[in-house]
Amino acid sequence: MEPYMPISYLNDFIFCPRSIYFHQLYGRVSQRLYHTTAQTKGKAAHKTVDTQTYTTAKSVLQGMEVYSDRYKIGGKIDTYDASKSLLVERKKKIKVVYDGYIYQLFAQYHCLVEMGYEVQKMKLYSMDDNKSYPIKTPPEDTERQKEFDDIVHKMKNFDLNEAFVANENKCRYCIYNNLCDVAAC
């Protein structure tokens, strides 16, 4: 199989294109050494999906590996309910619906559709407060689909040596700012 980009990189790339490179520098180092408390809690919150113990409903696929040949992206979905044609991306706590969250759903949508699944609805789910955020599918939101295509193209063609303007607000919270030569903090 050809190399592909993990779906999770979409959110990371939007936060900071350089973060993907710095994440790779850590390689196989234990995430406990560089993950923040929030990241550790978020990973733990996904345990039931990752171990496919979230539900016993036969119509719900959980933690399934997906891949899009068109976009050369792949990863895991959280849940897909075939009886409702509903794709759900679960987050521990959603305070703001970030573009990266939506583009992760778009990527999962494209993977599932290419794999022969029908996706009619998508949503983000905030586990801590039990809130759902309906998200339009790519065919329903053509403008955001164009943005998604553009981001995937930029990710594939990103050059770490190109001019970069640091964002002080993002750098302050970036777990990689100690590695970054242009961090604003």
Single pTM value for the model:
0.82
Q: pLDDT tens for residues 9-54?
A: 998 888 888 878 877 776 665 555 545 565 555 555 555 556 565 6
Amino acid making up residue 155: M
The pLDDT confidence band at residue 76, using thresholds 50, 70 and 90, is very high
Domains of the chain by residue range = 5-17+39-159
Cα separation, 124 vs 160, in Å, equals 31
Q: pLDDT tens for residues 121-155?
A: 999 999 999 999 999 999 999 999 999 999 999 99
| Cβ neighbour number for residue 66 with a 10 Å cutoff | 23
Three-state SS at 114: helix
The pLDDT confidence band at residue 59, using thresholds 50, 70 and 90, is confident
Cα separation, 3 vs 113, in Å, equals 20
CATH topology of domain 5-17+39-159: Lambda Exonuclease; Chain A (3.90.320)
Cα atoms found within 13 Å of the Cα of residue 71, Cβ hemisphere only: 31
Q: What is the largest CA-CA distance in the chain?
A: 50
- 56-60, 128-132, 154-158: range with lowest mean pLDDT: 56-60
CA angle, corner 124, sides to 122 and 128, nearest 5?
150
Cα atoms found within 13 Å of the Cα of residue 56, Cβ hemisphere only: 0
| Cβ neighbour number for residue 38 with a 10 Å cutoff | 12
183 conformational bin, left if phi > 0, alpha if psi -120 to 50, beta if neither = beta
Q: What is the predicted pLDDT for the residue at 34?
A: 45
Dump the DSSP string for 3-43: --EETHHHHHHHH-HHHHHHHHHHTTS-GGGT--HHHHHHH
Q: What is the predicted pLDDT for the residue at 17?
A: 83
Cα separation, 160 vs 4, in Å, equals 18
Q: What is the predicted pLDDT for the residue at 37?
A: 60
| Cβ neighbour number for residue 62 with a 10 Å cutoff | 21
